[in-house]
Amino acid sequence: MQGFLNLNKPFDWTSHDCVARVRKLLRLKRVGHAGTLDPAAIGVLPIALGKATRLLQYLPGNKAYKATIRLGVRTTTDDLQGEVITSQACAELSLAVVKTALSQFVGKIEQIPPSYSAIQVDGKRLYDLARQGATVAVPARIVEVFQIEVLDWRGGDYPELDVAIACGSGTYIRAIARDLGAVLETGGTLAALTRTESSGFNLTDSLTFSDLEAQLQAGTFNPTLPDAALQHLSSVTLPATSAQKWCQGQRIPLNPDDVSGIVRVYDEETRFLGIGQLEDGVLTPQMVFEPIS
């Protein structure tokens, strides 16, 4: 079995928990995931099966979320799973003011990841260092937010804002909640998070574990084809002799029109062979998925 599973991750499961469960259900050793989701988040978690684990690095990085931000509260983890650091009622806060502040978070922005995150500093995960009480200077990085749309606003002492966010890889929604609260001088934290899109997969097409188990029992489960998740890449087709040489690791002269960079490679029978790098008229193997004997 090889390909991708578009999993709807349940609440309070780590991404590693999900991989372990899929491995057990499918009786498959080679299982991996793209784009870690926090335990408190739900939604799209792409799971690679079999040889498709080697394709994870080539999936598109863009993601989309629906998030609830609670204002007036700061926590240690930048979400409701952490301890409250400060709490101050801000019933006077208006949606108009919040919308103006939100506009600062669209585009390429500098962001400091949460202290409780999977990022490594000096070979150690930030969440491990935070649990040990260590104080670590987390380096800022540039991320890109394409769009933030306000979905709902609930006023009160601790108002809540529902937003839809489309962003590039590496963006922390918890950090946006925290930083929005800082701009408003009220404090802010993430109250709920659903990932609606990730690496080309959509929530509407995702499977829960219950769905997966039912399909496995009925014998109807079919993973997404490996190359179906790579449609953002251009493709090239090789004649039989060239395809065989390419699968053996040889570089192939090739000059297709308007195609360069990382590409999907096929043979004349439309069989997906793997991933290549096309530069200066030469196609170099990067990952051979389907060898030809």
- Where exactly are the structural domains of the chain? 3-60+200-226, 63-198, 233-288
CATH number of 63-198: 3.30.2350.10
211 is catalytic: no
DSSP the chain: --EEEEEEEPTT--HHHHHHHHHHHHT-S-EEESS---TT-EEEEEEEEGGGGGGGGGS---EEEEEEEEESEEESSSBTTS-EEEE---TT--HHHHHHHHGGGSEEEEEPPPSSSS-EETTEEHHHHHHTT----PPPEEEEEEEEEEEEEE-SSS-EEEEEEEE-TT--HHHHHHHHHHHHTS-EEEEEEEEEEETTEEGGG-B-HHHHHHHHHHT---PBPGGGGGTTSEEEEE-HHHHHHHHTT--EE---TT--EEEEEEETT--EEEEEEEETTEEEEEEESS---
Homologous superfamily in CATH for domain 3-60+200-226: Pseudouridine synthase (3.30.2350.10)
Indicate if 63-198 has the same CATH topology as 3-60+200-226: yes
CATH number of 233-288: 2.30.130.10
Along the 293 residues of the chain, how does pLDDT read in single tens digits? 899 999 999 999 999 999 999 999 999 999 999 988 989 999 999 999 999 999 999 999 999 999 999 999 999 999 998 899 999 999 999 999 999 999 999 999 999 988 766 565 555 555 555 565 556 667 789 999 999 999 999 999 999 999 999 999 989 999 999 999 999 999 999 999 999 999 999 999 999 999 999 999 999 999 999 999 999 999 999 999 999 999 999 999 988 877 889 999 999 999 999 999 999 889 999 999 887 76
Record the pTM.
0.89
Active-site pick, 12, 17, 38, 152: 38
